[in-house]
């Protein structure tokens, strides 16, 4: 089972201007650094929550189809572009949406399930025989929850103000990670 980012977000949840304003930075000397901190903060927020923040495309690889529905990682699910599998002859086959499978975006984890009266086909017994291409994320930056953006801003400013690798220790930001708690995806 694997998850591969196939198309990174076209934009970040925060602009350079928003981060600079929050950090009270004037001028453009540190624009490259702050831009990199924005990307790092988004990636860390996505890792901590298990969610995709802004629209991005993924490939989910499975060794076989499960008995029932497939939970797709990186919610919220926007759409499924394709469900493919290697048949017994090793030929890549593409299932037909609505005829072979249905997509459910209303639950926390998006689901792909066999269509009514259908079951998943039997793929070839090889690793990564099933390939699902999907799009996930809240959409544009404006749709990302403010709690997550606030967490990002606090992290960015903390990192910006504490750039040294060694030396004086700085206390971590107390209680800041609680901003992400309502958005954490817990898998059982």
Whether 131 and 63 map to the same domain: the answer is: yes
Report the pLDDT averaged over residues 1-20.
94
pTM of the complete model beyond 0.85? yes
pLDDT digits (tens, 9 = 90+) for 150-173: 999 999 999 999 887 655 666 667
Q: What is the mean pLDDT of residues 51-56?
A: 96
User: Does some domain include residue 188?
Assistant: no
Contacts of 187 (CB under 8 A, 6+ apart): 50, 71
Q: Are residues 61 and 105 in the same domain?
A: yes
Q: Which domain holds residue 169?
A: 8-48+141-183
Q: What is the pLDDT of residue 115?
A: 96
Dihedral angle sign, alpha carbons of residues 83, 188, 47, 153: positive
Return d(Cα 184, Cα 63) in angstroms, integer. Answer: 27
Report the CATH number at residue 179.
1.10.3230.30
Sign of CA dihedral 96, 101, 110, 86: negative
Q: What string of DSSP letters covers 110-163?
A: -EEEEPTT-------SSTT-EEEEEEES-SSGGGS-HHHHHHHHHHHHHHHH--
Secondary structure of residue 104 in the 3-state scheme: strand
Local confidence band at 23 (pLDDT 50, 70, 90 cut-offs): very high
pLDDT over 90 at 63, yes or no: yes
Alpha-helix runs per DSSP H in the chain: 16-23, 31-49, 146-161
* Number of domains comprising the chain: 2
Average pLDDT, the chain: 93
What was the pLDDT predicted at 87? 96
């Amino acid at each position: 089972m694997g998850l591969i980012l196939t198309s990174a977000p076209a934009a970040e949840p925060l602009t350079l201007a928003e981060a600079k304003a929050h950090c009270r930075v004037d001028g453009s000397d540190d624009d490259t650094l702050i831009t990199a901190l924005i990307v790092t903060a988004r990636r860390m927020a996505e890792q901590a929550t298990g969610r995709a923040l802004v629209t991005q495309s993924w490939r989910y690889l499975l060794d076989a189809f499960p008995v029932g529905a497939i939970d797709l990682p990186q919610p919220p699910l926007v759409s499924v572009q394709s469900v493919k599998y290697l048949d017994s002859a090793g030929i890549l086959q593409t299932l037909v949406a609505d005829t072979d499978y249905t997509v459910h975006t209303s639950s926390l984890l998006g689901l792909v399930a066999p269509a009514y009266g259908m079951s998943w086909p039997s793929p070839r017994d090889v690793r990564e025989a099933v390939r699902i291409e999907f799009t996930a994320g809240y959409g544009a930056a404006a749709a990302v929850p403010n709690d997550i953006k606030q967490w990002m801003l606090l992290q960015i400013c903390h990192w910006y103000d504490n750039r040294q690798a060694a030396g004086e220790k700085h206390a971590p930001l107390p209680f800041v990670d609680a901003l992400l708690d309502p958005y954490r995806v817990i898998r059982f």
